[in-house]
């Protein structure tokens, strides 16, 4: 044994105490002062004023002013529900989406009594496989939901071509793709509606929050009425068909807290600085992983910008490590001091919510059967073999940690015979 594995009683190789991903970053004095001041100004904003207005206007600027309307919500999931409602999902309508992503990208469809149709992913980009979409289009299909998974943009040229050909709407879930670009155009500016989660782990974060953007006034009005009754609906909705509902909206309150808006506003101001740091770290990590035979590093198309680069999920090639079980590999690397795991999401077809559509939640209705796992070979491969590493974001601190991670990967390879029983 060249250097005894920590799992077998040796010394851990990585000497830097964790956690190795420190996010979100600490607030500066100006942000804390504004939060404090807001406490004595207005802690529940019913219209589009104060930090809510500032955030929404800044977000449109962030998207190069390619979108006309921005509405803030208390979460990305609420923004998704508003988006599906705005686009008119009704009972038995079908929404096509990726088989491997965060469950909330598609689950709001069930609340509107629609059906979800899952499509396999592209193994390289981890986004919905555009070439598979048309096989699943039926007379009931209304929307293609695109998730720019882990920050890599989907094939938007092909997806928009398919949508136009089949008279379908496109919803972009950009929760992972803050600032990501496809052929120099911002993700979130291709589809009919886009949403962005501002949850605490996102590059632009509010703690909890989300935004919806669109160029369609009808979609704006419907989304506003779903979660922003009274002042905002009265002020912004002029259409006679919808304005009469201003006092009650459509029954929900999904507004963002002004405190969350302040936090989001400052994270947006610091976006470029944080992006530069994260790209420096993760490009370096990705390059170093080329030295590790049993890890397939992250694919980046030559026409994209990953923007916030949400998540770093390389694939484990167990055939190149004597078929060592992934669970055992992770155990050995953690013993060396590495912060490593597996992606939290699973193939949606394995989730009871997607398989069963519980009547308790959604009522008795026609339910479209979810395909078998055999229909999603690429999604299953990623689920079974992906690893999750920290999204390093502090170059001055993290370069040394990354170098130690590489030594740990090599240490496992050098001592593999001691891990194979």
pLDDT given for residue 1 in this prediction = 54
Angle separating helix axes 271-288 and 395-414, nearest 10 degrees: 20
Q: At 44, list the tokens.
A: 């529940």
Name the residue among 96, 88, 132, 131 with its Cα closest to residue 112.
88
pLDDT tens figures, 36-75: 999 999 999 999 999 999 999 999 999 999 999 999 999 9
CATH number of the structural domain 6-25+271-343+386-418: 3.90.1150.10
> Does 102 score more than 70 pLDDT?
yes
Choose between 368 and 373: higher pLDDT. 373
CA distances from 261 to 28, 167, 177, 393 (A): 15, 36, 19, 23
> DSSP 3-state assignment of 269?
helix
Is 29-269 a domain of CATH 3.40.640.10?
yes
> Does 111 score more than 80 pLDDT?
yes
pLDDT tens figures, 284-339: 999 999 999 999 999 999 999 999 999 999 999 999 999 999 999 999 999 999 99
pLDDT tens figures, 133-171: 999 999 999 999 999 999 999 999 999 999 999 999 999
> How confident is the prediction for the chain on average, in pLDDT?
95
Q: Is 421 exposed, middle or buried (0-12, 13-18, 19+ CB in 10 A)?
A: exposed
């404090």: which residue's tokens?
36
**Can you tell me the distance from the alpha carbon of 272 to that of 349, in angstroms, rounded to the nearest whole number?**
37
**Can you tell me the distance from the alpha carbon of 328 to that of 322, in angstroms, rounded to the nearest whole number?**
12
> DSSP 3-state assignment of 299?
coil
**Can you tell me the distance from the alpha carbon of 246 to that of 238, in angstroms, rounded to the nearest whole number?**
10
**Can you tell me the distance from the alpha carbon of 41 to that of 159, in angstroms, rounded to the nearest whole number?**
46
**Domain-wise residue ranges, the chain:** 6-25+271-343+386-418, 29-269
Query: Which of 91-95, 271-275, 341-345, 408-412 is predicted least confidently?
Result: 341-345
Number of Cβ within 10 Å of residue 9's Cβ equals 8
| pTM for the whole structure | 0.96
């Amino acid at each position: 044994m060249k250097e005894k594995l920590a799992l077998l009683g040796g010394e851990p190789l990585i000497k830097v105490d964790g956690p190795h991903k420190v996010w979100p970053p600490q607030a500066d004095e100006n942000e804390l002062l504004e939060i404090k001041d807001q406490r004595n100004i207005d802690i529940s904003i019913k219209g589009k004023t104060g930090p809510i207005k500032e955030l929404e206007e800044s977000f449109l600027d962030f998207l190069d002013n390619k979108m006309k309307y921005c509405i803030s919500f208390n979460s990305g999931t609420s923004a998704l529900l508003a988006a599906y409602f705005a686009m008119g999902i009704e009972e038995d309508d079908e929404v096509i989406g990726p088989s491997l992503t965060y469950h909330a990208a598609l689950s709001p469809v069930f609340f509107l009594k629609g059906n979800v149709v899952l499509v396999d992913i592209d193994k390289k980009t981890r986004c919905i496989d555009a070439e598979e979409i048309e096989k699943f289009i039926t007379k009931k299909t209304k929307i293609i939901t695109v998730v720019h998974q882990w920050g890599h943009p989907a094939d938007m040229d092909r997806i928009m071509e398919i949508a136009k050909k089949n008279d379908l709407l496109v919803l972009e879930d950009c929760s992972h793709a803050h600032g990501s670009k496809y052929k120099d155009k911002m993700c979130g500016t291709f589809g009919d509606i886009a949403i962005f989660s501002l949850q605490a782990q996102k590059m632009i974060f509010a703690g909890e929050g989300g935004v919806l953007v669109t160029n369609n006034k009808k979609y704006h009005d419907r989304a506003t009425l779903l979660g922003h009754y009274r002042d905002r609906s009265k002020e912004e909705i002029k259409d006679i068909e919808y304005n009469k509902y201003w006092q009650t909206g459509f029954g929900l309150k999904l507004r963002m807290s002004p405190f969350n808006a302040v936090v989001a506003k400052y994270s947006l101001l610091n976006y470029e600085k944080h992006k530069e740091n994260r790209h420096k770290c993760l490009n370096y990590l990705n390059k170093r992983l080329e030295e590790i035979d049993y890890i397939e590093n992250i694919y980046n198309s030559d026409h994209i910008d990953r923007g916030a680069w949400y998540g770093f999920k390389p694939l484990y090639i167990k055939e190149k490590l004597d078929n060592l079980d992934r669970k055992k590999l992770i155990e050995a690397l953690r013993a060396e001091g590495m912060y490593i795991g597996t992606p939290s999401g699973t193939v949606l077809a394995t989730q009871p919510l997607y398989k069963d559509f519980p009547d308790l939640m959604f009522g008795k209705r026609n339910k479209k059967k979810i395909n078998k796992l055999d229909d999603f070979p690429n999604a299953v491969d990623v689920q079974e073999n992906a690893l999750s590493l920290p999204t390093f974001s502090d170059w001055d601190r993290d370069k040394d940690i990354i170098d130690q991670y590489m030594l740990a990967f090599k240490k496992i390879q050098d001592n593999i015979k001691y891990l194979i029983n």
